[in-house]
């Protein structure tokens, strides 16, 4: 990989990407220095690399690093990760033993000031994350018992892996009273292991639109929090076990658990609510290349179920999920939000059709709402619609989430509403 100046244009921004190498340093707290070069993404000789998945954080709070000796301001969350990855190569953190130290980082490897390059690189992100040897999921610095949480998940996974189909599913817990036992007087002010694990899933990392895509598309996911790391498969094994015991009849309760502990364990465990299963189900579908018909409908479900996710740029509520649909949309960050949402609505309608949308919306009792709309139910119409970007009345605001003031109805209902209005009214504004 030939190093080049950071701002040097890519030979072909639809076929080439940049990678960085983090340079070693004597001072672990010293400024991060990286060399950056260009490689062809689709070449059989493309070197192995690691794609970083992280939350940018507050864009106004930055730290200077150097890329090919030129200064570059990055968010403090990214700088902290790069500093930790730099120490890895000095033996302090053991990661990626079989992978050369080359990383793809969107904030560095895409010229964020060049909207033309950015618009060309965004469609490649599906291939970038699918092609990475690992996707490193940076949850953030160590905090809130994260070290204990990751260590406990690793221990639980190792014990669960030893179970045979005929094994007692609970006996191994006897050795680990911190997973089920009451707090001691000395530990009353401390969080339990499960509370610490819950806090891992409450981090901002899991609430971002781009993050969802990055994990679903990855071949291998490695979670990292502070200096601690954990493979995705380890977490998945524990989640599978928790799911398997949920609702287990009390007559199967092991003798070392009292009734209160038992009920809390089999009914009150939040790991099954963490979203891990949804992510893994989507990973399985998208890794199975033959299921095109299944993937088409799952792609629509993903678009609907991800409406609670957040994005700093509202355009990314569309662009951040393009990998999951066959909608023919070319990212263009110079276009207005209004134009992007309008184009998206029209193309979704043409691709998926009214029947499929209504079938999926049926469980949300859309039919009754639609009937009221056609009778002139303005109050419901106002709930369905919302207009922060000057978009036409028939276009859904796909950037709203469950906390928005105008989120009374799902985006799926809004899309189906478009069809009903377009085909029952001659005066409504349609796609220009």
| 327 vs 37, higher pLDDT | 37
Q: What's residue 186's pLDDT? A: 46
| Lowest-confidence region among 43-57, 77-91, 115-129, 404-418 | 404-418
| Lowest-confidence region among 17-31, 98-112, 328-342, 343-357 | 343-357
| Lowest-confidence region among 150-154, 201-205, 306-310 | 306-310
For residue 26, pLDDT over 60 is answered with yes
Give the pairing type, strands 134-140 and 50-53. parallel
For residue 380, pLDDT over 50 is answered with no
Specify which of 7-16, 44-53, 375-384 reaches the highest per-range mean pLDDT.
44-53
Q: CB–CB of 267/246 below 8 Å?
A: yes
| 135 vs 342, higher pLDDT | 135
The DSSP-derived string for 283-300 is HHHHH-TT-HHHHHHHHH
Average pLDDT over residues 316-345: 86
The rounded distance, in Å, linking the Cα atoms of 352 and 347 is 9
Q: What's residue 410's pLDDT? A: 47
Q: What's residue 255's pLDDT? A: 85
Domain ranges of the chain: 2-132, 146-283, 311-424
For residue 1, pLDDT over 80 is answered with no
The rounded distance, in Å, linking the Cα atoms of 190 and 415 is 47
Q: What's residue 301's pLDDT? A: 67
Average pLDDT, the chain: 77
Tokens of 60: 């106004």
| 268 vs 319, higher pLDDT | 319
Q: Which residues are paired to 62 by β-bridges?
A: 75
Q: What's residue 428's pLDDT? A: 40
Q: What's residue 364's pLDDT? A: 40
Q: What's residue 368's pLDDT? A: 45
H-helix or E-strand containing 393?
Answer: none
| 104 vs 407, higher pLDDT | 104
Percentage of the chain lying above the pLDDT 70 cut: 70
247-259 residue pLDDT tens: 777 667 888 888 8
Distance from chain centroid for Cα 184? 37
| 226 vs 417, higher pLDDT | 226
389-402 residue pLDDT tens: 887 766 777 776 54
How far lies 189's CA from each of 3, 143, 186, 366, in Å? 52, 16, 8, 47
Average pLDDT over residues 58-66: 92
For residue 218, pLDDT over 70 is answered with yes
Specify which of 6-15, 49-58, 179-188, 319-328 reaches the highest per-range mean pLDDT.
49-58
186-197 residue pLDDT tens: 445 556 888 889
| Lowest-confidence region among 72-81, 117-126, 235-244, 260-269 | 260-269
Tokens of 378: 């303005």
pTM recorded for the entire structure: 0.80
Q: What's residue 49's pLDDT? A: 92
């Amino acid at each position: 990989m030939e190093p080049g100046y950071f701002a040097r244009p890519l030979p072909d921004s639809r076929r080439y990407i940049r990678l960085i190498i983090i340079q070693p340093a004597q001072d672990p707290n010293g400024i991060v220095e990286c060399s950056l070069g260009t490689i062809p993404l689709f070449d059989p000789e493309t070197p192995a690399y690691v794609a970083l998945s992280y939350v940018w954080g507050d864009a106004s709070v930055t730290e200077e690093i150097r890329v090919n000796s030129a200064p570059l301001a990055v968010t403090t969350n990214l700088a902290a990760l790069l500093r930790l990855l730099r120490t890895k190569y000095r033996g302090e953190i053991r990661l990626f033993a079989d992978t050369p130290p080359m990383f793809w980082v969107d904030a560095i490897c895409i010229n964020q000031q060049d909207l033309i390059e950015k618009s060309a690189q965004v469609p490649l992100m599906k291939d970038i994350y699918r092609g990475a040897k690992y996707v490193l999921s940076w949850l953030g610095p160590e905090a809130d018992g994260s070290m204990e949480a990751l260590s406990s998940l690793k221990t639980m996974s190792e014990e669960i892996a030893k179970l045979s189909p005929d094994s007692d599913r609970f006996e191994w817990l006897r050795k680990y009273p911190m997973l089920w036992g009451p707090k001691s007087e000395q530990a009353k002010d401390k969080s339990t292991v499960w509370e610490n694990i819950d806090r891992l899933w409450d981090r901002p990392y899991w609430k971002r639109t781009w993050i969802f895509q990055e994990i679903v598309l990855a071949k291998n996911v490695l979670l990292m929090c502070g200096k601690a790391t954990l493979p995705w498969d380890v977490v998945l094994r524990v989640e599978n076990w928790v799911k398997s015991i949920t609702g287990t009849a009390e007559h199967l309760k092991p003798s070392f658990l009292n009734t209160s502990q038992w009920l809390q364990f089999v009914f009150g465990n939040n790991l099954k609510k963490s979203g891990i299963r949804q992510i893994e189900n989507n990973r399985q579908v998208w890794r199975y290349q033959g299921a095109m018909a299944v993937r088409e409908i799952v792609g629509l479900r993903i678009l609907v179920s991800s409406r609670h996710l957040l994005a700093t740029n509202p355009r990314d509520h569309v662009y951040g999920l393009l990998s999951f649909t066959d909608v023919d949309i070319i990212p263009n960050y110079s276009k207005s939000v209004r134009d992007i949402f309008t184009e998206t609505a029209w193309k979704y309608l043409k691709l998926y059709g009214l029947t499929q949308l209504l079938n999926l919306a049926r469980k949300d009792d859309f039919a009754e709402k639609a009937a009221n709309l056609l009778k002139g139910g303005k109050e419901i119409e106002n709930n369905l619609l919302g207009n922060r970007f000057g978009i036409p009345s028939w276009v859904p605001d796909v950037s709203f989430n469950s906390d928005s003031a105008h989120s009374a109805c799902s985006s799926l209902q809004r899309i189906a509403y478009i069809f009903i209005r377009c085909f029952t009214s001659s005066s409504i504004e349609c796609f220009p």
